[in-house]
Amino acid sequence: MKKISAMPAFALAIVGAILAGCTSNERVYTAENYIPAPPSDETANPAPAGGFSLAIGDETLSAEEVIMPHMEHFRPAAQQLGYQQFYAGARGQIQQLVSNEINSILIYQKARRRLGSEMDKQLERTLDAETRRFIDNFGGNYAEAEEELSRMGMDWQSLREYQKRMIITQSYVSSKISKERNVTYRELRDRYESVKDRRFALEPQVEFSLIEFNPEKIEPDDPNVTSQEKARQMADKIRLKLDEGENFEKLAVEYSHDIEAESGGRWPSRNPEALAQPYEKIAKKALELEESQIAGPIELQGRFFIVRLESKQTKTHQPFAQVQHELEQEILEQRRNEQLNRLAEETAGDIQLEKKQKFIDYTVARLYELCRQ
């Protein structure tokens, strides 16, 4: 599938942050992150009769404009849940989407007033170039590009208007965001310390070789000796051979009942806690050893084990130097988002809260109705 870009590359980052909602950490209400509730007797609440739009300055925002780009994300939930369940899960996301659209419109209106009509003339060449670039995304196939526009609910004129709005908004936002100061070393270290356990923890890993003696798979050659005793004798005998310098892998292939016996008893590196018992205890014992050191026989759950450490990594964190650039970009992004949020808040005062809440409720109901058609 071709990637569509309808606005200049330089506008994507900042404008995208506005449209995506800078302060939201909520998950999108998709089929991947909700568990469908059992069928209920709820009757879906119908969408309010007639259309409903929200006046924002000299423009209006419709429910369809908010929800149409996100229909496929919400459709599985709407089709499986009763209305009240859907409303409870989806309203927060719709509230964020509505706020994003309002902020975008208000910032554009303020930018339009500031830049004036002369901006239109200056934009013509840029818009022509952007239209050509859009078509180039389809290998220059005009019909294919037009088909994609139709799928997006747009035509060439609305695409051009959309591009113009984005460029004007980006220009205004750029003028309002102060020049970034450098991130200090202390800021980076403080961020690293605050998030390292949650984001940069490296779990312990151990790689070991194992020889296992399972009494259930041993036939004693002396009727006076139990399978358990025979297994212990074999384990002691093999440990002596190892102490005398015999090859661990060869002995594992010949004597071990372990699942990795055919590969010389060597287990791949893994977190001990990811193993079932008794192998978790074996792996934790291996962590106490030095490389190539052997321990055992160890008796666990009626079986006997001889273990050799191949390599280990105790619980630690990714080094600061490896994640420093990532943290620096996060801090810079956070600063930009904070400024964008303040800019959005400055523009939002003209929208009456009561009307906004009613519009959000209507939009949820309308989304539910459309998704179930």
Distance CA 236, CA 233 (A): 5
Q: Which of 28-37's residues contact partners 24+ apart within 8 Å by CB, and which partners? A: 28/70, 28/73, 28/93, 29/73, 29/74, 29/77, 29/89, 29/90, 29/93, 30/73, 30/74, 30/76, 30/77, 31/76, 31/77, 34/77, 34/89, 36/77, 36/80, 36/81, 37/80, 37/81, 37/82, 37/85
Mean pLDDT of the 143-158 span: 84
Looking at the chain, how many residues does it have? 373
Higher pLDDT, 55 or 292: 292
**Range of 18-22, 124-128, 299-303 with top mean pLDDT:** 299-303
State how beta strands 303-313 and 53-56 pair.
unpaired
Q: How confident is the model at residue 168 (pLDDT cuts 50, 70, 90)?
A: confident
The predicted model gives 1-27 an average pLDDT of 36
* pLDDT at residue 116 in the model: 67
User: In whole numbers, what is the pLDDT of the chain averaged over residues?
Assistant: 80
Q: Which residue has the tokens 């980052």?
A: 13
Runs of H (alpha helix) within 21-155: 63-67, 71-80, 83-115, 118-136, 142-151
Residue 24: is its pLDDT beyond 50? no
Q: Are strands 201-202 and 316-317 parallel, antiparallel or unpaired?
A: antiparallel
Q: Is 267 helix (H, G, I), strand (E, B) or coil?
A: coil
Which pLDDT belongs to residue 36? 36
Decide: 218 and 230 in contact? Cβ < 8 Å: yes
Cα within 13 Å of Cα(332), Cβ side: 14
**Lowest mean pLDDT segment, chosen from 118-122, 180-184, 287-291, 302-306:** 118-122
- Provide the 8-state DSSP code for 58: T
* pLDDT at position 160: 85
Q: How far apart are CA 284 and CA 97, in angstroms?
A: 49
Residue 9 has a pLDDT of: 34
CA distances from 296 to 40, 93, 204, 259, 288 (A): 59, 57, 22, 18, 13
pLDDT of the residue at 307? 95
pLDDT at 350: 55
- Angle (nearest 5°) at CA 139 between 6 and 131: 30
Asked whether the predicted pLDDT for residue 247 surpasses 70, the reply is: yes
pLDDT-based confidence at residue 234 (cuts at 50, 70, 90)? very high
Q: Measured between alpha carbons, how far is 103 from 150 in angstroms, rounded to an integer?
A: 26
* pLDDT surpasses 70 at 349: no
Indicate the CATH number for domain 204-314: 3.10.50.40
Q: What is residue 119's predicted lDDT score, i.e. its pLDDT?
A: 64
Q: What is the pLDDT of residue 327?
A: 94
47 — phi, psi (to 5°)?
-65, 145
* Coil/strand/helix, residue 156: helix
pLDDT at 344: 67
Range in 60-64, 71-75, 86-90, 346-350 with the lowest mean pLDDT: 346-350
Domain range summary for the chain, segments of one domain joined by +: 9-185+326-371, 204-314
**How many helices and strands (H and E) does the chain possess?**
13, 7
- The arithmetic mean of pLDDT across residues 357-367, rounded, is 91
Residue 213 near residue 255 (C-beta atoms within 8 A): yes
- Which residue type occupies 34? Y
Q: List the structure tokens of 22.
A: 């800078």
Name the band, by pLDDT with cuts 50, 70 and 90, for residue 128: confident
Look at residue 158 and tell me whether its pLDDT is greater than 70.
Answer: yes
For tokens 């060597």, name the residue.
266
* Angstrom distance (rounded) from CA 52 to CA 367: 13
Query: Would you state the pLDDT for residue 185?
Result: 94
Q: With 90 as the cut, is the pLDDT of residue 224 above it?
A: no
Query: Quick check: 358 pLDDT over 60?
Result: yes
Q: State the pLDDT confidence band at 298, using cuts at 50, 70 and 90.
A: very high
48-67: average pLDDT:
77
Beta carbons of 234 and 218 less than 8 angstroms apart: yes
Rounded to two decimals, the pTM is 0.47
Q: What percent of the chain has pLDDT over 90?
A: 37
Best mean pLDDT range from 34-48, 167-181, 352-366: 352-366
pLDDT at 11: 36
pLDDT(287) > 70: yes
pLDDT of 1 > 80? The answer is: no
Any idea which residue has 């998709």 for tokens?
30
At residue 25 the predicted structure's pLDDT band, cuts being 50, 70 and 90, is very low
Percent of the chain with pLDDT over 70: 81
Give the separation between CA 33 and CA 372, rounded to whole angstroms: 19
Quick one: average pLDDT of 280-297? Answer: 92
Closest to 340 (Cα-Cα) out of 9, 21, 11: 21
Cα–Cα–Cα angle for 353, 342, 340, rounded to 5 degrees: 110
